[in-house]
């Protein structure tokens, strides 16, 4: 099977493995995301999202190569965003913790996952998409810009236990 789907409990180990590979690549200086091992993301990140039925994966030829959390939960610091597209909470879908295995990079999986997220949101009646990334994550910021997202501000915060983060808020309005 190839495609996007809600994660099963059996997928959690694969998702955690991707988190660990990303942490290792960042430790080696090959990636610059701004996450911390043993802080975020960790097994509990995936497990809690799975239990809320908000964890999604991309499976290719029987292997989980990407994951993300999709829900309507806006991070508290979103209140400080300079949003061009104001919306009621029920009109907003949020993408969190999009990860692609470093082994599978540069294959367009991240772009495909964002496309899946947009389709998922639209099917649920949402008209505004939001997400965030660490200011340090230049690769994600570039990808999101190419996919039509605009930066709606940088908010200093403690993010999921990571201190001194400048969180870049992003948004996009779905086609009307």
> What's the distance, CA 54 to chain centroid?
12
Is this structure's pTM higher than 0.85? yes
Distance CA 144, CA 101 (A): 18
Q: Which tens digit of pLDDT belongs to each residue from 107-140? A: 999 999 999 999 999 999 999 999 999 999 999 9
Provide the number of structural domains found in the chain: 1
Using CB atoms within 10 A of its CB, is residue 41 exposed (0-12), middle (13-18) or buried (19+)? buried
Domain range holding 51?
3-173
Q: pLDDT at position 176, please?
A: 60
Taking the mean position of all CA atoms in its chain, how far away is CA 40?
Answer: 13
CATH number of the domain that residue 73 is part of: 3.40.630.30
Distance CA 48, CA 51 (A): 5
Peptide bond into 14 cis (omega under 30): no
């Amino acid at each position: 099977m190839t495609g996007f789907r809600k994660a099963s409990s059996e997928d959690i180990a694969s998702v955690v493995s991707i988190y660990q590979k990303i942490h290792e690549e960042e430790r080696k200086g090959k990636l610059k995301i701004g996450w911390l091992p043993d802080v975020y993301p960790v097994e509990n990140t995936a497990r809690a999202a799975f239990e809320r039925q908000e964890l999604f994966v991309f499976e290719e030829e029987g292997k989980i190569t990407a994951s993300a959390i999709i829900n309507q939960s806006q991070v508290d610091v979103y209140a400080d965003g300079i949003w061009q597209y104001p919306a009621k909470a029920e009109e907003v879908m949020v993408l969190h913790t999009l990860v692609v295995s470093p082994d599978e990079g540069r294959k367009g999986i991240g772009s495909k996952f964002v496309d899946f997220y947009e389709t998922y949101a639209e099917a649920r009646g949402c008209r505004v998409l939001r997400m965030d990334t660490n200011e340090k994550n230049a690769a994600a910021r570039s990808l999101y810009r190419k996919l039509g997202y605009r930066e709606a501000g940088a908010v200093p915060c403690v993010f999921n236990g990571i201190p001194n983060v400048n969180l870049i808020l992003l948004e996009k309005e779905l086609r009307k």
